[in-house]
Structure 1
Amino acid sequence: MIFPEKMVYLRIEIPEESFEKELINIGKSRLLHIDERKGQKLFLEEEKRAEYLYALTEKFLDILEIKEKTAGYKEFQMEEVEQFLSEIQSEINSISNLDKEIKKEEELLHQAEKIKMITSEKLNIPHLIKNLKHIKLKTGLFPSENIEPLILSLKSYDVFYLSGMMSEGTGWIVVFFVEEESRIKNILEKNQVKEIPLQYFTEEFVKELEKKKNILIKQKKNMKEKYTAKLLLINSFLKRKISLIKVKKSVEKHNHYYFLWGWVPEKKLREFVRFLEYSSVQTFPAKEDAPVLLKTPQIFKPFEKLIQNFSYPKYGEINPTVPFALSFLVLFGVMFGDVGHGFVLVIVGHFLKKRYKDAGNIFILSGISSTFFGFLYGSFFGFHDVIPHLLFSPIKNINSILIMSLVIGVIMLSISFLLNIISLFKRKKIKALIAGEGGLLWFLIYWYMIGIVIKAVVFNLDVVIDLFILGFLLLLAFVYIFIRTKSLTTSVIDTLRELLETVTNTVSFIRLGAFALAHSALFLAVFTVAKLLQNEEGETGILFWLVVIVGNAFIIVLEGIIVAIQTLRLEYYEFFKRFYEGGGTPYRPFTLD
C-alpha cells in the first residue's frame, strides 16, 4: 500500500518456429508490460496489410449495418482473408453505392417537398410539369446572398420567376422561360443555384424511390445472412492479429530466436512463466524506468485520478494516494465544515456516481468530511443554534482556527518529510537521506525552528543559544550543497531558498483558517440580508427562507469550487514538494481476449 508493487525485468527468448504461438500465450497471461523502447521494426509490411484488411471488414460491417460485433474466434490464413474480402467487395460496394444514391435522392426529394409546400398557394408544380408544353421551368436552391445578382441576371431575359427564403442562408427560385435554356442554365450555375431535377416533384418518382429502398433492404438482408458470421470471425481474427503485430514491433531477432523484454510483478512471476510453453526467461532487478502498479485500498482508488493530474508516481517512489486522500479530506473539511453542506455533497455524489463513479465517490467522501467538521463547528446550513459545537465556532474563535491551521500544516509537512526519508532509505540514496532536500538534516532544522518559536512565543524563554545551534545546522546543509554543486553562490541561494520555502510552506496553511472564516462570514452576510426581510415582530416569512436557501446554494457552489482548488494547491505544492517527484508510467500488460 505504501510502495507500488515490486516488478522484475524479463528477457524472453522465443524460438522462431513458435514465435506467434508464444505471443498468444503471453497475451493470455495478461501479465507482461512490454518494453516498447526495444525492437527492430521487422513487421511493418505485415502491420500495414493487417490494418488495411481490418479497416475493410469494419467498412463492410458498417455498410451491412451490423452493430453487434461479438463473435467467437477462429484462425485464418491471411491469403484466405484477402480472397474472401475480395470476393464480396464488389457485391457490398454495389449495396453501398445504391445506399448513397438513395440518400442523395431522399435529400433532393426533401428539398423538392419543401419548395412544393412553400409555393402551393401560387403554383402547382407537379401539375405544371405534366401540362406545360411550350414553357419550360427550372427550380433550385441558392445562397441567400446571391439573390440580387441572380434576379438582376434573369431580368436581362424574357423569363418569369418566383423566389423566396426557405431558411436562414438559403433561398429558393422557380424560373419559367421559353427559349435560351443554355443561357438560363449558365445564370443559375454562376449564382450557385443547386438545381433540383423536375422528376423529384412527381408521384412516379416517389414510387420509384420506394422500390429502390425495398430492393436495398432485401439485398442487405440476403448479404447479412450469407456473410455476417464469417465477416465477424475475420474481423475478430484481424483485431487480434494487429495486437500481436504491435507486440512484434518490440522484438529483436538474432539467428533463429526472437527476444522480447518487459516487466512483470514479482509475485506474479511464477504464474507468468507457467503460461510460457516454448521460451526461456532471464530475470533482472527492475530499475526506476519500470512501470508502476499501485496497491491502493478500494475506498481511495478515485483519488488516483487526482494524483495522475499532477503526475503518475515513479517506480520506487511512495504511493502518495492514501496520504493524499486522507489529507485532502481533512483540508477540505476544515475549510468547508458544515453538516448541511456535507449532506448536500453526499447526495450530489450519490447521483453523480451513476455516471461518473470516481467523481461521485470523491463528492461522497468530501461530504462526510464536511459533515464531521460541521459537527465540530456546530454549523448546520449556517445556523449555529441548531446543533451544539463539539470543538468551537470559527467566527467566534479566530485565533483558535488559525492556530489549528498552522498545527495541521506542521503535521502535514512533517509527514511529507517522513515519507521522503522512508522513500530515500528504501531506494538506498544515503547522501540525499542524510542531508538532501527533505532529508534528515532538513527535518531536524524544521523541527528545531518550530521548537525555537514555541520556546520564544509560548514560554517567553531565551533562545540565543538555540539560534546558534540552528545556524550550525544550516551551515552543515550549506556545506553539503557546496560539496555537491562546487559553487558558493548556488550553495547560498539553495540553502536560503530551502529555509524560506520550509517557513512559507507552513505559513501557507493559514489559508485553512482563512477559508473556514470566509465560510462563516458568507453565512453571516446571508443571514444579515435575510433578517432585513423579517416583519416588525421579528417573525420569519417566505422571503427570509428564500434568501437563506439561495444563499446556501450560492455558498455550496462557489466556495465548494474555491475550497477544492485551494485543497489541491496545498497538496500539490506544499505536501508533495519533499517526497513526490512523479514522471512514472502506469503498468499496462499486453492482453489478448
Structure 2
Amino acid sequence: MGFLMLFPEKMIYLKISIPAGKVDEEIKNIGLSGLLHIDERKGKRVFAAEEKRVEHLYRKTESFLDILGITYRKKWENGDIDITRIEDFVYDLEEKLNKISNLKKKLQRIRKLFETAKSIKERSKDILEPDKLLKNLKCIKFISGIIPDENLEPFLLSLKAYITFPVYGRLSKGSSWFFVFYLEDESTHIKDILGKNQAEDIPAEYFLREKEKEIKEREKEINDLLNMVKDKYLKKLLDYNSFLRLKYKITVAKQPLEIKGDYYIIYGWIPARKLDSFRRFVKYSNIETFPAGEDAPVLLKTPEFFKPFERIIKGFSYPKYGEINPTIPFGITFLIFFGIMFGDVGHGLVLSLVGFFLKKKNRDLGLVLILSGISSSFFGFLYGSFFGFHDIFPHLFISPIYDVEKLLIFSIFVGIIVISLSFILNILSLLRRKKIKNLIFGEGGMLWLLIYWYSIGVFIKAVVFKLDIKWDLVFLILIIFIVFIYIYRKSKSATQSVINVLRELIETVTNTVSFVRLGAFALAHAALFLAVFTIARLLESEGKGLLYWFTIVIGNVFIIVLEGIIVAIQTLRLEYYEFFKRFFVGGGIPYRPFRLD
C-alpha cells in the first residue's frame, strides 16, 4: 500500500453512449455519481444556446434573491419545469423588483445627504442652527454643502466678489462643510461658483427634522413592497432558482457531447476501482472502457500527514498521469534539508509554536511550520545548539562551528543519497509505464545511475584510498559510450549526442555539489550567532546585564525571521532543481469529476 501511494490512482477512459431522449436525465445520473472527469476537448457545443438561456435565467433568480435579502438556497428534487414558464415568471418579477431597486437607490441617496447634513449640523451647532435658520430667515437665503479641501480657498475667494457671508469648517479628511448666506439676487452666481469648485449642494430640507420622518416612511414603503413580493413570489422563486442551478450545471456538462445517429456520446475518465459503482448510477447508456493515456487527469493518493506538502507541489506543477507522486519524498527531504540548514533547538521550538497558532487560520502553513520546527530542533540536538548557545548540552553529531569539513562532507553525502533517490524514483516510474528503453538508456535511467555511482566510487578510490583507477576509467568510459550510441541513434547527430552526454555529466556533478549549500547555510546560521554574541559583548563589556540579553533576544528574532525565509527558499530550490530534475515532469491535470450535490 505504501508503495502504491507513490503513484496516482489508476484511471480508465470511458465512452458513454446516451439515447437522445434521455440526455438530461443521464447527465444528472452521471453528476450524482460524482465520478466522471469529463473530457472537455470533445464535442461542438451543440447545446450552447440552451446553456446561455439557462444561465441568464439562473443569474436573474440569484440577483432577485439578493435583492430580497434571501441567503439560503433549496435543493431541487421535483422533476422538470418548462423554461418558458420560468421566463414569464422572471420578466414579471423583474418589473416589480426594478421598481423596488430604484426606490432603494433613491432612498440611499436621500439617506446619504441626510447623514451628511446631520454631520454638518453637529459640527456647526456652536455657530448656528440650520433648522431654525430655515424657518426664520426671510430676505436672506443660505446654501450649504461639502467641498474638497483643495477647492475651499478658491471657493471663498470667488464669493468675495458678491454680497455673501460664508461659514465653514472641517468635516472629514479631505473635505469641509460650508454655509453661504446671500441675497436672493445672487442665487445664479452662487450656484455657478459651487459648480466650478466641485462643491456638493445639500438642499435645505435635509437639515429639517421632518426629513428623518420622511426617510422612515420611505423605508416602510419599501419594506411593505418587499414583503408583498415575498408573499407572492418567494416560494416559486426558490423553486425555480434551485431547478435552474441544477439545469445550468447539466447544460454546461452537455457541451462536450458528440452526436452519432440517435445517440449522444460523452467521454471522460474515472478511477478504475470505481467502475462498478459508476455503472450502478448510469441507467440508460452503453459504456465502453479504454486504457487511460498520459493525458488522463491525476488523482493523488497522499496520506493526510503529507497533504500540506502536496499543496506546495501543486503551486509548482501538478504531476502527469503515470508519474511518481512526489509528495511523500518531497515532504521527507524538505524537512531534512530545512533541519540541516536551520538546526537549533530553540529556533525549532519557536517555529513550531508559531505554526501551532497559525494552524487555525492557515492549516497547511501551520503544519509545515510545526514539522519544520521539529526537524530544526532535532538537528539542533545533533549540533548542540540552543538559541545560539553551544555550551548548554554537548553536540551529538557535528558542531557547525568546529567541524566545518565534516559538515560539508555530510552535506555532499546527503546530496548523493537524494540524487540517487531521484534516479530510483524515475526508474520505478518508467518501469510502471513500461518504457523499457528509457528505463535502461534514458536520462535518469539505470545506466546513468550506474555511471553516477561508479563515478563516485572511482573518485573515492583515487582521492581517499590513493589506488590505481586506470581500468575503472576504461569501464566508466565504456558505459558512457553505450549511452552515447543510444542517444546518437535517436538524434542522428554526433555533435548533439556529445553535447547531451556532456550536459548530463556536468549537471549531475553540479547537482551534487549544490548540496554543499546545506552545510554552508548551517555554518552561516552558526556564524550569525557568533556575530550576535560578539555585538552583545561589545555593547556590555562588564558581565551579562540587561543590554546583553536584549541584544541576544533581538539577534535571535532577526535570525529566525531573515534566515528562516532564506533557508525555506534554498530548500525549495534544492527540491525543484536538484531533486525533481530526473523523475518529475509535471504539467498534469487534477482529477475534477462532474458532481451534482
TM-score range normalised by the length of the shorter chain = over 0.9
1:13 corresponds to: 17
* Distance across 2 between alignment mates of 1:219 and 1:485: 78
User: 1:305-336 CA distances to partner (integer Å, 9 max, x unpaired)?
Assistant: 11112210001111111111111111111111
1:95 corresponds to: 100
* Distance across 1 between alignment mates of 2:549 and 2:126: 59
2:274 corresponds to: 268
Give the residue type in structure 1 aligned to 2:192. Answer: N
Shift of 1:507: 0.3
SS of match in other structure, 1:416? helix
Measured at CA, do residues 352 and 418 of structure 1 come closer, stay the same or move farther in structure 2, by a change above 3 Å?
Answer: same
1:393 corresponds to: 399
1:124 corresponds to: 129
Work out whether 1:256 is the aligned partner of 2:262. Answer: yes
* Distance across 2 between alignment mates of 1:160 and 1:328: 74
SS of match in other structure, 2:393? coil
User: 1:501-520 CA distances to partner (integer Å, 9 max, x unpaired)?
Assistant: 01000000000011111111
Work out whether 1:460 is the aligned partner of 2:501. Answer: no
* Distance across 2 between alignment mates of 1:261 and 1:135: 81
Give the residue type in structure 2 aligned to 1:35. Answer: D
Shift of 1:138: 2.1
* Distance across 1 between alignment mates of 2:155 and 2:347: 65
* Distance across 2 between alignment mates of 1:15 and 1:50: 22
2:46 is aligned, of 42, 45, 54, to: 42
SS of match in other structure, 1:96? helix
2:62 is aligned, of 47, 53, 58, to: 58
Q: Is the 8 A contact 1:159 1:178 kept in 2?
A: no
* Distance across 1 between alignment mates of 2:149 and 2:373: 56
2:589 corresponds to: 585
Shift of 1:203: 1.1
* Distance across 2 between alignment mates of 1:54 and 1:139: 46
Query: Gapped runs of 5+ residues in structure 2?
Result: none
* Distance across 1 between alignment mates of 2:289 and 2:406: 57
1:291 corresponds to: 297
* Distance across 2 between alignment mates of 1:192 and 1:352: 48
User: Which range moves more in the overlay, 216-225 or 46-55?
Assistant: 216-225
Q: Is the 8 A contact 1:377 1:389 kept in 2?
A: yes
Q: Is the 8 A contact 2:335 2:371 kept in 1?
A: yes
SS of match in other structure, 2:185? coil
* Distance across 2 between alignment mates of 1:413 and 1:233: 60
Give the residue type in structure 1 aligned to 2:555. Answer: G
* Distance across 2 between alignment mates of 1:72 and 1:47: 18
Give the residue type in structure 1 aligned to 2:550. Answer: L
* Distance across 2 between alignment mates of 1:150 and 1:546: 57
Give the residue type in structure 1 aligned to 2:565. Answer: I
Give the residue type in structure 2 aligned to 1:276. Answer: V
2:159 corresponds to: 154
1:441 corresponds to: 447
* Distance across 1 between alignment mates of 2:240 and 2:404: 72
SS of match in other structure, 2:42? coil
1:410 corresponds to: 416
SS of match in other structure, 1:66? coil
The aligned length equals 591
Q: Is the 8 A contact 1:160 1:177 kept in 2?
A: no
1:234 is aligned, of 205, 217, 240, to: 240
Q: Is the 8 A contact 1:71 1:232 kept in 2?
A: no
User: 1:201-247 CA distances to partner (integer Å, 9 max, x unpaired)?
Assistant: 11111211122223333443444454444323322222111111110
Give the residue type in structure 2 aligned to 1:486. Answer: K
* Distance across 1 between alignment mates of 2:376 and 2:155: 69
Q: Is the 8 A contact 2:27 2:250 kept in 1?
A: yes
Measured at CA, do residues 18 and 10 of structure 1 come closer, stay the same or move farther in structure 2, by a change above 3 Å?
Answer: same
Shift of 1:71: 5.0
User: 1:409-465 CA distances to partner (integer Å, 9 max, x unpaired)?
Assistant: 000111111111111122222222222111122111111110111001110112222
> Percent of counterpart pairs with the same letter?
56
2:525 is aligned, of 498, 515, 519, to: 519
Work out whether 1:69 is the aligned partner of 2:73. Answer: yes
User: Which range moves more in the overlay, 379-388 or 268-277?
Assistant: 379-388
2:87 corresponds to: 82
2:196 corresponds to: 190
* Distance across 2 between alignment mates of 1:283 and 1:218: 60
SS of match in other structure, 1:161? strand
SS of match in other structure, 2:581? coil
Shift of 1:152: 4.3
* Distance across 1 between alignment mates of 2:567 and 2:312: 15
* Distance across 1 between alignment mates of 2:245 and 2:475: 69
Shift of 1:35: 0.3
Q: Is the 8 A contact 2:45 2:256 kept in 1?
A: yes
Work out whether 1:302 is the aligned partner of 2:308. Answer: yes
For residues 200-215 of structure 1, what are the structure 2 equivalents within 5 Å? 200-215=206-221
User: 1:273-307 CA distances to partner (integer Å, 9 max, x unpaired)?
Assistant: 11110000011110010000011111111111111
* Distance across 2 between alignment mates of 1:116 and 1:211: 22
SS of match in other structure, 1:583? coil
TM-score after normalising by structure 2: 0.95
Give the residue type in structure 2 aligned to 1:77. Answer: D
2:490 corresponds to: 484
User: Which range moves more in the overlay, 126-135 or 415-424?
Assistant: 126-135
User: Which range moves more in the overlay, 260-269 or 475-484?
Assistant: 475-484
Work out whether 1:335 is the aligned partner of 2:341. Answer: yes
Q: Is the 8 A contact 2:76 2:246 kept in 1?
A: no
1:574 is aligned, of 570, 574, 578, to: 578
Q: Is the 8 A contact 2:76 2:243 kept in 1?
A: no
Q: Is the 8 A contact 1:74 1:233 kept in 2?
A: no
Give the residue type in structure 2 aligned to 1:130. Answer: K
SS of match in other structure, 2:593? coil
* Distance across 2 between alignment mates of 1:350 and 1:214: 50
User: 1:51-74 CA distances to partner (integer Å, 9 max, x unpaired)?
Assistant: 211221221121111223355644
Shift of 1:472: 2.4
Give the residue type in structure 2 aligned to 1:467. Answer: L
* Distance across 2 between alignment mates of 1:526 and 1:560: 16
* Distance across 1 between alignment mates of 2:400 and 2:192: 82
1:493 corresponds to: 499
